[in-house]
């Protein structure tokens, strides 16, 4: 599978009340790959984290390496 062929879809929305909200996206072709977007309301900052099997990865390239996808 090529990186360009991969698609993700929203699989969860997390409501943290006044403090945050978050979305979780799962890769359709490789369900072990998840992107978690955390929106911190007070600072209006966004943090995106790639995860493989629930373990945070430093970036998408590292996550794909763990999965054996280049």
Q: DSSP characters for 40-64? A: ETTTTEEEEEEEETTEEESSHHHHH
Structure tokens at 46: 């966004």
pLDDT of residue 69: 86
Q: pLDDT digit string (tens) for 17-66?
A: 999 999 999 999 999 999 999 999 999 999 999 999 999 999 999 999 99
pTM here? 0.88
Q: Is the pLDDT of residue 1 over 80?
A: no
Does 70 have pLDDT greater than 80?
Answer: no
Tens of pLDDT, residue by residue over 3-21, are 788 999 999 999 999 999 9
How far is Cα 62 from Cα 45, in angstroms, rounded to an integer?
23
**What proportions of the chain, in percent to the nearest 5, are helix, strand and coil?**
15, 50, 35
């Amino acid at each position: 599978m090529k990186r360009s062929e991969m698609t993700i879809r929203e699989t969860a929305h997390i409501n943290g009340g006044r403090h945050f909200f978050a979305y979780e996206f799962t890769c359709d072709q490789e369900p072990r790959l998840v992107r978690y977007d955390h929106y911190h309301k007070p600072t209006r900052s966004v943090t995106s984290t790639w995860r493989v099997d629930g373990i945070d990865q430093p970036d998408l390239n590292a996550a794909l390496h763990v999965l054996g996808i280049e």
